Amino acid sequence: MSRNAESTAFRSALEVVRGVEPRVADAIAAELADQRESLKLIASENYASPATLLAMGNWFSDKYAEGTVGRRFYAGCQNVDTVEALAAEHARELFGASHAYVQPHSGIDANLVAFWAILADRVESPALRKAQARQVNDLTEADWFALRRELGNQRMLGMSLDAGGHLTHGFRPNISGKMFDQRSYGTDPATGLIDYDRVAEAAREFKPLILVAGYSAYPRKVNFRIMREIADSVGATFMVDMAHFAGLVAGKVFTGDFDPVLHAHIVTTTTHKSLRGPRGGMVLCGPELADQVDRGCPMVLGGPLPHVMAAKAVALAEARRPDFADYAQRIVDNAQALADGLLRRGATLVTGGTDNHLVLIDVSGYGLTGRQAEQALLDSGIVTNRNSVPQDPNGAWYTSGIRIGTPALTTRGLGAAEMDATAELIHTVLSQTTPGTGPDGAPSKAKYVLDPAVAESVGKQAADLLTPFPLYPAVDLG
């Protein structure tokens, strides 16, 4: 697509929207301006290509398409079949998977599809077999009671939240925590690293139906070969949620023991984050779970979103290009450069560094909570998010950590020198911020004090750092 074509496409789209609700058009334009001007260091965010963005704004949004390719419950889905089949094909080829299900609307939807596919495959239940055979009307009240009891009483072992795990891996505030009897494995208190012997011990003791690996705030690789051996030793299904690092798998930065698709029974992911696609989810599996996974709609999902599946097909096609592997490697190189810059300036990092796309700063060394640090950095034009650290004394709301990631800035073209400059800006803000007090004069975990002149200076330096790396340079909204 030419630079002129991209500008024309987005200008025209906003003009049409403005004709109906100008405030929405203004908000869209303002969001682009905000993203262009701030250092985006949220590890779970990225910038999708113009082609991916444009693929979502079309007539596919008007279609219902329950079912799967060639087996729809609505007529007139031949074009939806085309884009869904293309997205699945690109996913299979990109990740080396035998089956890909691209309908999930989000990462949690992908996880729910995986959970229910595993339950349906593993739980021995006459009532479940009747339901799967579509003999639902034959189920008695006793059958339904038994089914609820059996499916809601299975065990899951996953990474603890404070060690870097994710809410959707069996924790109470999420539906997964209501579905499963869940237990967590943590990390070594001294190193912050996964202790595989302790995971194996927990698995032998707990005997889970599902062993889950994957993370949202663990800055190291995971050895999926060892995790599969642990799962096999207790007869568990091994599931990996690679939502955060799917781009590193796609770009062949994570290979061998560190490639989850080679070792897991089933893999889930989002399609944004490091994969740089539209917001959505996806499930990869072998043939033994494919039929159950394809029942995701209506088992868990509502109607698929054909316009988002079209965008997934575009993004996955982009990820199969040779330059994506270079991009994935630069994500890791930048994260390590950022970590090195922070360490040289005295910051404390969980695990002492990173092997992947993210860095976790323990801001208690600056005398701050994560919430104070997050807001002070935002005041200074640096967008991050607070995050728990292992054995966090401040809990999951205030936290003691800041999670930062490099996928988005790498997309813009920033490199090692800019990562070092970014580390300097982060350190300047955190070292110049002090805790505030509440109305009663007591110390506050939320309020903070930062000289506005410091915030203004850092914000200007951040903007200057970004100037040589324009975001969506071909898009001029006029």
Active site residues: 64, 66, 241, 270, 273, 279
N-to-C CA span, the chain = 19
Residue spans of beta strands (DSSP E) within 327-478: 358-362, 382-383, 385-387, 401-405, 434-437, 443-449
Q: Are 320 and 90 in contact (CB under 8 A)?
A: yes
Look at the block and give the residue holding tokens 């949620």: 241
**Dihedral angle at the C-alpha atoms of 135, 136, 139, 145, nearest 10 degrees?**
140
Secondary structure of 82-127 as H, E, C letters: HHHHHHHHHHHHHHCCCEEECCCCCHHHHHHHHHHHHHHHHCCCHH
- Burial class (CB within 10 angstroms; exposed 0-12, middle 13-18, buried 19+) of 386: buried
Residue-level length of the chain:
478
Q: How far apart are CA 263 and CA 266, in angstroms?
A: 9
Cβ atoms of 388 and 399 within 8 Å: the answer is yes
Cα 386 from chain centre: 15
Rounded to an integer, what is the distance from CA 112 to the centroid of its chain?
A: 15
- Provide the 10 A C-beta neighbour count for residue 454: 17
Secondary structure letter of residue 62 according to DSSP: G
CB 335 within 8 A of CB 358: yes
Q: Under a CB-based contact definition with an 8 Å cutoff, are residues 339 and 403 in contact?
A: no
Long-range CB pairs of 30-34, under 8 A, 24+ apart, other chains included: 32/471, 32/472, 32/475, 32/477
Residues with Cβ within 8 Å of 199's Cβ and at least 6 positions away in sequence, in order, are 157, 185, 227, 230
In sequence order, which ranges of 168-267 are alpha helices (DSSP H)? Answer: 175-179, 196-206, 224-233, 246-250, 260-263
The Cα 356–Cα 329 span in angstroms is 9
- C-alpha 366/C-alpha 71 separation (Å) is 58
Tally helices (H) and strands (E) across the chain.
Answer: 21, 16
Q: Which two tokens stand for residue 67?
A: 């079912």
Nearest of 29, 59, 55 to residue 271 by alpha carbon: 55
User: Measuring CA to CA, which residue among 352, 359, 393, 390 is closest to residue 163?
Assistant: 390
